[in-house]
Amino acid sequence: MEELNSILVVASRTPSDPALLGKALRLARGCGAKIHLFYCDARSGASLGTEQETAKAEQGWQQRFDDDVEYLDALIARFRAPRISITRHALYGQSLSEAILQEVARIEPDLVMKVPAGSHPLRLFTLDFNDWRLARNCPVTLLLVHGRVWPHELQFGALVNVSERAIPRLSAAVLHACEYLSLGCGGPVEVIYCESGHDAEEISDRGTALQRLTDEYHIPPDRVIALRGDPDSELPALVAQKRYDVLALGAPTHRRGLVALAGGLSSKLVDATDSDLLLVRLPEHNSVDAPRTNEREMPGCLTG
C-alpha cells in the first residue's frame, strides 16, 4: 500500500458494520480517501441460482436486493461525512470471497476492510474459509477489523522479519503502511522482531538489517522491541500484552494452514490478539485474475 486513496469496505449485515464503517471513515478523513461500501448476499445468491427464471423468482430477487441497498443507505446515513465520497454496491454471488475479489478488480482500491466471519468462544480472532481465501488471494492490503473501538490516538505494531528467508522488502512495506496510516490518523508505531537463531554472526547480520530498516523509516530505538527466543511463544505473549489497535504484518501466502499468516508462526499469534490485523502485500504481488461469479447486481452511488 503506497498510498490510501480508495477503501473497499465489505459489509456483512451484522451489528459489527457500524464499527467497521466508522473505522473506514476515520482512515478516509486522515488520508483523504474515498470509500466504496460493498455487500454480497452469497447465500441468497446461491439459492436464487437454483430457481427457474420465472417472474416470481425475479420479483423475490428484486425485493431482497432492494432491501440490501436500503440497508447500505441506512448504514451510511448513520454517519456525518460531508467531505468524503461514499459509493455503495450490492450484488448476489455464489462465493463471498470471489465476489470481493471481483469487486477489488473492478474498483482497484488501495485497502480492503472486512470483519472476519468466523467466531469461536475461546479465540479472539477466528477466520472462516472465505476470510482465509481472501487473505491469501486479495491483491491489495487487507484490514481485518475487530469490534474494539479505536481510541483518539492509535497504537500501531509492525511485525517484521529480517531473516534470509523473508520476502525481500516485505518488512519495509509493512513499516511503510504503518507509518502512512499513523501520519494520517495520529499515533506511534512500534516495531517488533523476534530473534530465534544461535549463530552469533548471523544474529549480528540480522541485527544490522533491523537497524538499517528502522533507520530508513525513522523509528527511534525506544520503539523497537527485539525479542529473543521462540517466536511461536514470544510474539503472541507480547501482542496480548501490548493490545495494539492495529497490528501489521506480511499477508499470508498460499502455503497451507495458519502457519503462513505470520511468516512461520502458528495460529497462537492470531488467537492472542484483539488488534485489528493489517495484512500488507507487496505491490509487485498485486495481481489477480478477477473470478467469474454467477451474480445479479444493482449499482448505486451516494456522495456525502
Q: What are phi and psi of 234, to 5 degrees?
A: -70, -45
Full DSSP string of 5-63: SEEEEE--SSTTHHHHHHHHHHHHHHHT-EEEEEEE-HHHHHHHHTS---HHHHHHHHH
3-class state of residue 91 by DSSP:
strand
**206 class by beta-carbon count within 10 Å (0-12 exposed, 13-18 middle, 19+ buried):** buried
* All domains of the chain in start order, with CATH: 6-140+288-303 (3.40.50.620), 156-278 (3.40.50.620)
Question: What does the alpha-carbon distance between residue 97 and residue 155 come to, in Å, rounded to a whole number?
Answer: 29
304 residues of the chain, pLDDT tens digit each: 889 999 999 999 999 999 999 999 999 999 999 999 999 987 655 455 455 556 666 677 777 888 999 999 999 999 988 889 999 999 876 688 889 999 999 999 999 999 987 654 445 556 677 787 888 889 999 999 988 889 999 999 999 988 767 777 899 999 999 999 999 988 999 999 999 889 999 999 999 999 999 999 999 999 999 999 988 889 999 999 999 999 999 887 654 443 344 343 446 777 788 899 999 988 755 444 444 333 333 333 332 3
3-class state of residue 199 by DSSP:
coil
Element (H, E) at 189: strand 189-195
Which single residue is written with the C-alpha cell 420479483?
A: 59
